[in-house]
């Protein structure tokens, strides 16, 4: 099975339809595709399925109360809204659909929907006459016009004895429709080289100079570019995270090796994203044998490494270039200088002095800087930051 929802965070809203008893199966099918699922159960939903069933299957606390003091201290409604890549309402009751259409924030689920920029998918499930009603259809039309996706209900015999359209589709079909939401074609036909991770500069066969980069931000860009249809070459240094097997993965160690790999492929590439933390210096003459300690000071002569991004930007036929600036002081000034000096299209400024973001953390907060604009991208998961960076980039340059 292709795990097409790997790393995806799905917030499942279960509302007051008789078919809420199928919600645990929807959770299972989403998990089968690799998704991390959290559940919000409305008061209507809780009449048809228990919190305990959904908690046991999702392996996460089920959220239901907007006024939960403890939850507001940790995974509160705004956190849930930011956490989600997609909010799926399955089943969506007629009442829930009406609340969404009128922009109500009267309970936890409707408040989270309003506070989120995640993909919104609605799976209506109700009596066939309710489904056909003018009010329901006009509410669905309004929600679609605002960008929500509607999963068409199945036809057949219903719990109430009627026959018609309004049944919740099979859980596997719902999960597959969610997976489809993440496949876009905005970057199809583009070849993108992304460097990531830290380079290792050898001192001797067992020691090296390196840095704290984990490669997580770069890998989020690899995943997102692939989702957007690009052909990706991932040139990675030292990382401690899994690779995306849909990319052409090339392992490197030193800055020189990374430079050689990038240059070998660069003429076939449309976009170059330099996210690796390339060491600025390497040891001039690494020892072939392990250096023995003898009590004396050890002096290493360091020589500057080639600047991969600057060299790519200097090519006669250069690709569009995105560079990362990890700065700890005068951050904005240094990043703007880097944009000018290197000649790249975009610099993504990363303030690595803040331990909550940047190196090794799962979250980031960056500034997108081009000649034309400077845009703050608020703190969020690296996956969402990657998506935002690419969306702004595509709008300006493609
Ligand atoms: C036995 C029973 C079954 C119901 N089934 C549905 C249904 O399938 N779809 C629906 O939209 N409403 C259904 N309703 C009505 C909703 O439960 C009711 O509108 C509720 O307020 C919705 O709660 P919610 O806003 O939390 O979704 C049903 C009500 C009862 C008593």
For position 230, which CATH number holds? Answer: 3.40.50.10300
Q: Distance between alpha carbon 159 and the CA centroid of its chain, in Å? A: 39
pLDDT value for 184: 76
pLDDT value for 172: 97
The reply to whether 289 and 308 lie within a common domain is yes
The reply to whether 229 and 171 lie within a common domain is no
Is 84 inside a domain boundary? Answer: yes
Q: How many Cβ atoms sit within 10 Å of the Cβ of residue 85?
A: 22
The reply to whether 296 and 380 lie within a common domain is yes
Of 160, 269, 279, 313, which is the active-site residue?
160
Q: Which of 136, 163, 181 is the last residue of a domain?
A: 181
Is 139 inside a domain boundary? Answer: yes
CATH code at 75? 3.40.50.1950
Q: Which of 181, 205, 235 is the last residue of a domain?
A: 181
The reply to whether 237 and 137 lie within a common domain is no
DSSP single-letter state for residue 309: H
Residue of 20, 42, 44 with the most ligand 1 atoms within 8 Å of its CB, for mutation: 44
Evaluate: CB of 95 within 6 angstroms of ligand 1. yes
The reply to whether 167 and 210 lie within a common domain is no
The reply to whether 155 and 283 lie within a common domain is no
Residues of the chain short of pLDDT 70, as ranges, are: 1-2, 72-75, 355-360
Evaluate: CB of 43 within 6 angstroms of ligand 1. yes
Is 152 inside a domain boundary? Answer: yes
The reply to whether 216 and 133 lie within a common domain is no
What angle separates helix 134-145 from helix 94-101, to the nearest 10 degrees?
A: 50
- Rounded Cα–Cα distance for residues 178 and 81 (Å): 17
Residue 374, CB half-sphere, CA atoms under 13 Å: how many?
Answer: 6
Q: Is the dihedral of CA 321, 368, 374, 187 positive or negative?
A: positive
**Is residue 160 annotated as a catalytic residue, yes or no?**
yes
The reply to whether 171 and 273 lie within a common domain is no
Count of domains in the chain? 2
pLDDT value for 357: 67
**pLDDT tens for residues 342-359?**
999 999 998 777 766 656
The reply to whether 139 and 200 lie within a common domain is no
Is 162 inside a domain boundary? Answer: yes
pLDDT value for 351: 79
pLDDT value for 330: 82
Is 314 inside a domain boundary? Answer: yes
Residue of 12, 15, 17, 107 with the most ligand 1 atoms within 8 Å of its CB, for mutation: 17
DSSP single-letter state for residue 198: B
pLDDT value for 36: 92
Smallest CA separation from ligand 1 atom 17, residue: 16
Smallest CA separation from ligand 1 atom 2, residue: 18
- Rounded Cα–Cα distance for residues 43 and 214 (Å): 42
- Spatial neighbors of 278 by CB under 8 A, at least 6 apart, are 195, 199, 237, 255, 258, 305, 307, 308
Residue of 14, 15, 16, 100 with the most ligand 1 atoms within 8 Å of its CB, for mutation: 16
Ligand 1 centroid, distance to 125 Cα (angstroms):
9
Q: Which residues, in sequence order, are bridge partners of residue 274?
A: 195, 323
Is 2 inside a domain boundary? Answer: no
Ligand 1 centroid, distance to 159 Cα (angstroms):
12
The reply to whether 158 and 32 lie within a common domain is yes
Is 268 inside a domain boundary? Answer: yes
Domain membership of residue 128 as a residue range: 9-181
Q: Which of 129, 155, 181 is the last residue of a domain?
A: 181
The reply to whether 197 and 161 lie within a common domain is no
Smallest CA separation from ligand 1 atom 1, residue: 18
CB 95 within 8 A of CB 89: no
For β-strands 119-124 and 320-327, DSSP reports them as unpaired
Q: What separation in angstroms does the CA of 68 have from each of 74, 89, 122, 253, 375? A: 10, 21, 25, 49, 34
The reply to whether 118 and 214 lie within a common domain is no
- Rounded Cα–Cα distance for residues 45 and 20 (Å): 6
Is 215 inside a domain boundary? Answer: yes
pLDDT value for 148: 96
């Amino acid at each position: 099975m292709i795990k097409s929802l790997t790393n995806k965070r799905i917030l499942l809203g279960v509302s007051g339809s008789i078919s809420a008893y199928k919600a645990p199966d929807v959770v299972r099918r989403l998990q089968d595709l690799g998704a991390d699922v959290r559940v919000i159960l409305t008061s209507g939903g809780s009449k048809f399925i228990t919190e305990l069933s959904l908690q046991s299957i999702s392996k996460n606390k089920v959220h239901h109360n907007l006024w939960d003091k403890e939850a507001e201290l940790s995974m509160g409604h705004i956190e849930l809204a930011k956490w989600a890549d997609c909010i799926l309402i399955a089943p969506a009751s007629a009442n829930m659909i009406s609340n969404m259409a009128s922009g109500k924030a009267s309970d936890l689920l409707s408040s989270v929907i309003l506070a989120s920029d995640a993909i919104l998918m609605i799976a209506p499930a109700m009596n066939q006459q309710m489904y056909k009603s003018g009010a329901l259809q006009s509410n669905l039309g309004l929600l679609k016009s605002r960008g929500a996706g509607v999963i068409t209900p199945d036809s057949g015999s219903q719990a109430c004895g009627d026959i018609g359209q309004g049944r919740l589709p099979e859980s596997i079909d719902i999960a597959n429709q969610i997976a489809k939401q993440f496949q876009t074609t905005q970057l199809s036909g583009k070849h993108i080289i992304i460097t990531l991770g830290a380079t290792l500069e050898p001192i001797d066969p067992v020691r090296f100079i390196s840095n704290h980069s984990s490669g997580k931000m770069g890998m989020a860009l690899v995943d997102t570019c692939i989702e957007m249809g690009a052909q990706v070459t991932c040139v990675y240094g030292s990382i401690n995270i899994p690779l995306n097997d849909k990319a052409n993965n090339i392992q490197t160690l030193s800055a020189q090796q990374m430079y050689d790999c990038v240059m070998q492929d660069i003429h076939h590439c449309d976009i170059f994203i330099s996210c690796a933390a390339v060491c600025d210096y390497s040891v001039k003459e690494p020892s072939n044998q392990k250096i023995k300690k003898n009590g004396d000071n050890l002096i290493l002569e360091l020589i500057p490494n080639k600047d991969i991004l600057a060299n790519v930007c200097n090519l006669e036929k250069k690709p569009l270039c995105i560079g990362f600036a990890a700065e700890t002081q005068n951050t904005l000034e240094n990043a703007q200088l880097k944009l000018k000096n290197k000649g790249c299209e975009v610099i993504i400024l990363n303030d690595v002095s803040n331990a909550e973001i940047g190196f090794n953390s799962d979250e980031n907060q960056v500034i997108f800087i081009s000649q034309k604009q400077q845009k703050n991208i608020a703190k969020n998961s690296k996956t969402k930051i990657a998506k935002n960076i690419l969306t702004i980039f595509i709008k300006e340059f493609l």
